[in-house]
Amino acid sequence: MVNLADLYGHLEADLSYVEQELLEQVKAVEPALEEAGTHLLSAGGKRLRPVFVLLSGHFGSYDVSRLGKVAVALELTHMATLVHDDVIDHADTRRGRPTVKSRFGDQMAMYTGDYIFAKALSILTDISDPRVHQIFSLAIERMTVGEIEQIRDLYSLDQSVSKYLKRIRRKTALLIQVSCTLGALTAGAPQQSVSALRRFGYSTGMAFQIIDDVLDFTSTEEQLGKPVGSDLRQGNITLPVLYSLGSKEAGERLRQLVRPDQKEDELEEAIAIVRKSGGVEYAQALAQRYLVKASEALAYLPATPARTSLAALATFVGKRDH
C-alpha cells in the first residue's frame, strides 16, 4: 500500500503553513461557530486538494504565500460541502468521529458550512487574476448541480452509467480538477502545463470517486470511519450497484432489496450481491482506465520531481483502502 505521508514529505513545511491558515480561517467571533469549525478541522483528512494545488504550482513560479491562499480556499470549500452532505445524509460519523451535525445539530452544521464557504470566498479575493475567480465560481455552481442531481436520483435503479459519471464529475472530480488548474494558473505556468494539469486533475478525480464508491463495499467501518454500505443505505446508486442491477441473476433480487424502507438484513444481502456479481471489479477497471488517462496527461509536463509526485498520487488513488 502506498504511504501517503511519504508522498507529502517534501511538502511538509508548506502543508504545515496551509494547516495553520485553515485553523485561522475557522476562527469566529461567535464561540459556538468557532467550536464547530475547529471540531471539523480536527477530524483531519488527506488534504489532497491542497497537495494538488502546491504540486501544480511547481510548474510555474512557486510562491507558497499565493498558492497557500488557493489551497486553503479549496480545502475550506471541500470542508463546507462535507458538513452540508452530512446533514443531508443524516450521517453521524465521518473519519471515525462524530460529524458536526451529530455533535451540534442540523442548524449549527448548516451555518458552519455556510461560514466556512464564506471564508473560502474571502481568502480567494487576495488573488487578483479574474480567471481564478471565474473558474472557482463556475465550479461551485456545477458542484451544487451535482449534489441536487444526486438527491434527485436517490433510489433511481434505471439510471445509466453515463448519468452516474456526469454526476460524480460535478460532485467530486471537478474540485480536484480545479485544484490542479488554479495551482498552475496562480503560479503563472505555461498554458500547455495548465491544460495538462486540468486533464490530469479531472481523470484523477473521476478515479478517486469511483474508488470511493468501491470502498463502500470492500472496506471496513474502522477503515472508512463510517458504516459499510452507507451509500446504498441512503439510496445513492453508485457504479458497482448499477453494474449489478444489470446482471440477470442478481439484478432482480437487488431491485427488491434497494428501497427506502430497507431493513438491515436486506442491506447486508444487497451488499453481498454487489460483491459477488462483478460490480466491484467492473468499477475498479473503469477507475484504472481514468488513471491511465491521468498518466497520459502527465506526459505533457516537464520531467520534474513534482510530476513524479503527481504520478505517485494517482497511484495512491488507485490503491487506497480508505
Cα distances from 321 to residues 182, 210, 217, 288, 315, in angstroms, run 28, 13, 11, 15, 12
What value does the mean pLDDT take over residues 207-233?
Answer: 88
Contact 199, 189 (CB under 8 A): no
* Residue 136 buriedness (CB in 10 A; 0-12 / 13-18 / 19+): buried
pLDDT at 93: 85
For 179, the 3-state DSSP assignment is helix
Of 96 and 137, the structure prediction assigns the larger pLDDT to 137
What value does the mean pLDDT take over residues 299-314?
Answer: 95
pTM exceeds 0.85 for this model:
yes
Confidence of residue 46 (pLDDT cuts 50, 70, 90): confident
Contact 4, 57 (CB under 8 A): no
Q: Residue 110 above 90 pLDDT?
A: yes
**CB within 8 Å of 227: residues ≥ 6 apart:** 93, 221, 233
Residue in 270, 70, 80 with CA at minimum distance from that of residue 157: 270
pLDDT at 6: 67
Domains in the chain: boundaries: 4-319
What value does the mean pLDDT take over residues 287-313?
Answer: 96
Of 45 and 158, the structure prediction assigns the larger pLDDT to 158
pLDDT at 320: 84
What value does the mean pLDDT take over residues 307-312?
Answer: 94
Provide the grid cell at 244. Answer: 449489478
Q: Residue 319 above 80 pLDDT?
A: yes
CATH 1.10.1040.50, domain 4-319, yes or no: no
Give per-residue pLDDT as tens, 161-174: 999 999 999 999 99
pLDDT at 42: 85
Indicate the average pLDDT of the chain.
Answer: 92
What value does the mean pLDDT take over residues 123-148?
Answer: 94
Confidence of residue 221 (pLDDT cuts 50, 70, 90): confident
pLDDT at 83: 92
What value does the mean pLDDT take over residues 262-282?
Answer: 94
What value does the mean pLDDT take over residues 212-224?
Answer: 87
pLDDT at 5: 63
Q: Residue 1 above 60 pLDDT?
A: no
Q: Residue 203 above 60 pLDDT?
A: yes
Q: Residue 3 above 90 pLDDT?
A: no
Confidence of residue 45 (pLDDT cuts 50, 70, 90): confident
What value does the mean pLDDT take over residues 34-61?
Answer: 91
